[in-house]
Copies of this chain bind each other. A is one copy, B any other.
């Protein structure tokens, strides 16, 4: 049952984080590097981060069983090519990231959407065993990753969890997707930026301004919180997941954001015994910041893909670990 060491890389627009984990998903090495953009830059960054993480772990890239990558954008479910990752300077033409990195490192590489990687990482790293869980990733956009019965649910076309583009207001703001009033126009970093701009470049954020009593900032935070609360309700009503974990850049502010979302969940319960019975405020939590959840998730997915394909390690317990 020993799959050996596996590396995972979480590639974001500004930084890439690589980990090397053992069979029990213990992190043995962890490295953060600035991301170089474009196809060649992304591959070089990922390869270098894996090499450095291996060094910390006392391993070599060639000694790894597999490498998993979590990356924003559209990931083709079968071949791991990536397109539409604008923050990484990857456009409409699919880039065969998995194959390029595999050539660079000499080990099998699997590629997964970053939100899915976070969902798998959050599921494996949860203190208590969790059967199911949704991660709501709130960054520039809004999307969810879903783990059902312990396995990532990708959907029939790899597009499950696109909850950001569900309209919830017929006269709401136009969304980049061409619809009106999508959840993403209310519950995202870009929605928050549109509703409140820092008056001076003095480090004030919408959160600090709201806390200091700025009414425009408070209204922006409440509207955002109500949008996130709506997305949480939607995930629970559609999937009946037990836990919804908030993740993504906007959650870095931490507890103040969770407080606002919980307050909006409770406010919506007024007059609805149906919502009260769902106890949503108890079911929502924040992804612990600073934990390499996406990188670990990418590593776990790489191990699972490897074992499911049964290519690498004859005689191992393929079924037990496979997704």
Contact = CB atoms under 8 A, between A and B. Distances in A.
A89 interface: no
A29 B283 CA distance: 46
Given A166-B234, A230-B167, A155 B272 contact: no
Interface stretch (A195-203, A236-244, A310-318): A236-244
Contacts of A132: 155-156
A78 to B, nearest CB: 15
Nearest to A164: B237
Nearest to A130: B156
Contacts of A169: 168-170
Contacts of A24: none
B165 A168 contact: no
Main secondary structure of the interface of A (DSSP, over half): loop
Interface of A: 131-132, 144, 148, 153-163, 165-170, 177-179, 230, 233-235, 237-242, 268, 271-275
B274 A240 contact: no
A285 B148 CA distance: 26
Contacts of A241: 155-156
The 6 A-B residue pairs with the shortest CB-CB distance, nearest first, are A155-B240, A178-B272, A156-B242, A160-B240, A177-B274, A159-B240
Interface centre among A148, A159, A161, A163 (most CB of B within 10 A): A148
Contact of A154 (B166, B240, B274): B240
Q: How many copies make up the complex?
A: 2
Contact of A166 (B148, B165, B237, B272): B237
A238 to B, nearest CB: 5
Given A148-B153, A153-B148, A169-B170, A179 B268 contact: yes
A159 B235 CA distance: 12
5 contacts: A156-B242, A163-B238, A166-B233, A166-B237, A167-B168
A162 B161 CA distance: 16
Contact of A148 (B148, B158, B165, B240): B148
B240 A156 contact: yes
Given A167-B168, A179-B275, A162 B268 contact: no
A112 B84 CA distance: 43
A253 B152 CA distance: 38
A162 B272 CA distance: 15
A162 B275 contact: no
Nearest to A158: B240
Nearest to A131: B156
